[in-house]
Structure 1
C-alpha cells in the first residue's frame, strides 16, 4: 500500500487577509513539501497541470525536477498531465529527463483534463476533446516502447523513423490513466493494462468499487495479469493533531476553492454542513487526526481495492506550515498504521 501527496500548487487569496502569494513563492514552497514528503517516508508526490491564475504549476515535470536532486526514494508524478492539449513527444522527453535526474522515480499520470484552459491556449478545439486524448495516448505509449518511432495521426504531424531522447532509466516509463470515474475511462485503462488513478472527491468512496471491478475485468479480458495492476485514489484531506483542529483549519480554504469552481461549473453552494457530512467515515474527505485518517484509508483499501492513496492537500491556499505539518503526520503516523494493518489483513485473506 503506497501513501503519498498530490497538489495543484494553488495561489488563491488567503481566506483571512485576502493576500495572494506569488507563483514563485508557492513553487518554492511545493518543492519544500516534496522534500519533506520524501524525508518522512511517503511513497509518491504528484503535481497537477493547470494554466490559470490561481494555480502555479503549468509544468509539473519542471517542478518535480527541482525536487529530484533533493530527494532519495519518493516517486515523482504529474497529477495529471493534460495530454490532450500537449505534445506527447515533449511530454515523454520531459519525464524521461525527470526520470534520469531522479534515477528512475518519474511517472506520468495522463488525463483529458477537467480544466479546459489549455485547449484554447495551445490552439485545440474542444469538439475534439475525446479524439485528441485517444490519439495522443497512442503516440505516448508508442514512444515508450521504442527508441525510434514511426507514427501518423490526425491532430499532430507524422513522425517518420525518428529517435526520441533522452531514454528513461525505467523501461517502460510508468504511465497512469487518471479518471474522474467514468466507465469508458476505466475500461480504456484496463484494456491497455495501465495503472488507474480515480479522483474520489465526492459521494461515498465505496461506490467506486464497481468501477475498479470493471477495470479489472477489462484488463483480464485483454489478457493482462490483474495481480500486477495498481489502482490509486486522489482524495481531498488534511491532518492535524486532533479532529476539530483539522476540520477548522481545512474548511475555510476548501469552501472558498470549491465555491469558485462551483460558480464556474454550476455546482451548488458548498457550506460547512456539506463539508462536515463528507468528513464522516463513509465520506470522501480524509480530514482528522492521524488515527481517523488512517482508518478511512484502510477502509478504502479493503472495500474499493486501491493500492495507492494520494492525499490532496491543500485545497485552496493554506499556511505553508500547516501543509508541512499535515505531510509530516501523514508520513510519520498515518502511513505506518495503514501499512501495518493492510499487511496484516492481506496475510489473513490469503
Structure 2
C-alpha cells in the first residue's frame, strides 16, 4: 500500500487576510513539502498541471525536478498532465529528464484535465476534446516503447523515423491514466494495461468499487495480468492533532475554492453541512486526526481495492506550516497504521 501527497500548488487568497502569495513563493514551498515527504518515508508526490492565476504549477516536471536532487526515495509524478493540449514528445522528454535527475523515480499521470484553460492557450479546439486525448495518448505510449518513432499525426505534425531523447532510466517510463470516474476512461486504461488513478473527491468512495471491477475486467479481457496493475486514489484531506482542529483549519479555504469553482461550473453552494457530511466515515474527505484518516484509508483499500492513496492537501491556500504538519502526520502516524493493518488483512486473504 503506497501513501503520498498530491497538490495543485494553489495561490488562492488567504481566507482571513485576503493576501495572495506569489507564484514563486508557493513553488518554493512545494519543493520543501516534497523534500519533507521524502524524508518521512512517503511513497509518492504528485503535482497537477494548471494554467490559471490561482494555481502556480503550469509545468509539473520542472517543479518535481527542483525537488529530485534533494530527495532520495519518493516517486515523483504529475497529477495530472493535461495530455490533450500538450505535445506528447515534449511531455515524454520532460519526464525522461526528470527520471534521469531522480535516478528512476518519475511517473506521468496522463488525463484530459477538468480545467480547459490550456486548450485555447495552446491553440486547440474543445470540439476535438476526445479525439485529442486518444491520439496523443497513443503517441505517448509509442514513445514509451520506442526510441526511434514514425508517426502519421493529425492534430500533431508527423514524425518520420526520428529518435526521441533523453531515454529514461526506467524502461518503460510509467504512464498512469487519471480518471474522474467515468466508465469509458477506466475501460480504456484496462484495455491498455495502464495503472489507474481515480479522483475520489465527492460522494461515497465505496461507490467507485464497480469502476475498479470494470477496469480489471477490461484488463483481463485484453490479456493483462491484473495482479500487476495498481489502482490509486486522489482525495482531498487534512490531518491535525484532533478531528475538530483539522476540520476548523481545512473548511474555510476548502469552502472558498469549492464555491469559486461552483460559480464557474454551476454547482450548488458548498457549506459546512456539505463539508461535515463529506468528512464522515463513508464520505470522500479525509479530514481528522491520524487514526480517523488511517481508518478511512484502510476502509478504501478493503472495499474499493485502492493500492495507492494520495492525500490532496491543501485545496485552498493554507499556512505552509499547517501543510507541512499534515504531511508529517501522514508519514509518521497515518502511514504506519495503514501499512500494518493492510499487511495483516492481505495475509488473511
TM-score (norm 2): 1.00
Q: What secondary structure is seen at the aligned counterpart in 2 of 1:234?
A: strand
Structure 1 segment 130-141 matched on structure 2, within 5 A = 130-141=130-141
Q: What secondary structure is seen at the aligned counterpart in 2 of 1:70?
A: coil
Q: What secondary structure is seen at the aligned counterpart in 1 of 2:115?
A: coil
Q: What secondary structure is seen at the aligned counterpart in 2 of 1:161?
A: strand
Structure 1 residue 153, shift from structure 2 partner: 2.1
Structure 1 residue 152, shift from structure 2 partner: 1.1
Structure 1 residue 154, shift from structure 2 partner: 1.1
Structure 1 segment 143-182 matched on structure 2, within 5 A = 143-182=143-182
1:141-170 residue CA offsets vs partner (Å, 9 max, x unmatched): 000101100111210111010000000000
Name the residue aligned to 1:83. Answer: 83
Name the residue aligned to 2:54. Answer: 54
Structure 1 residue 174, shift from structure 2 partner: 0.1
1:277-321 residue CA offsets vs partner (Å, 9 max, x unmatched): 001000000000000000000000000000000000000100000
Structure 1 segment 1-350 matched on structure 2, within 5 A = 1-349=1-349
Q: Distance in 2 between matches of 1:104 and 1:59?
A: 19
- In structure 1, stretches of 5+ residues that fail to align are none
1:231-261 residue CA offsets vs partner (Å, 9 max, x unmatched): 0000000000000000000000000000000
1:55-97 residue CA offsets vs partner (Å, 9 max, x unmatched): 0000000000000000000000000000000000000000000
Question: CA contact under 8 A between 2:153 and 2:159: conserved in structure 1?
Answer: no
1:12-57 residue CA offsets vs partner (Å, 9 max, x unmatched): 0000000000000000000000000000100000000000100000
Q: Distance in 1 between matches of 2:152 and 2:129?
A: 19
- In structure 2, stretches of 5+ residues that fail to align are none
Q: Distance in 2 between matches of 1:54 and 1:189?
A: 30
Q: What secondary structure is seen at the aligned counterpart in 1 of 2:69?
A: helix
Q: What secondary structure is seen at the aligned counterpart in 1 of 2:31?
A: helix
Q: Distance in 2 between matches of 1:287 and 1:167?
A: 40
The Cα RMSD (Å) is 0.3
Structure 1 residue 113, shift from structure 2 partner: 1.2
> How many residues matched?
349
Q: Distance in 2 between matches of 1:76 and 1:120?
A: 28
Q: Distance in 1 between matches of 2:342 and 2:113?
A: 32
Q: Distance in 1 between matches of 2:208 and 2:146?
A: 35
Q: Distance in 1 between matches of 2:274 and 2:121?
A: 34
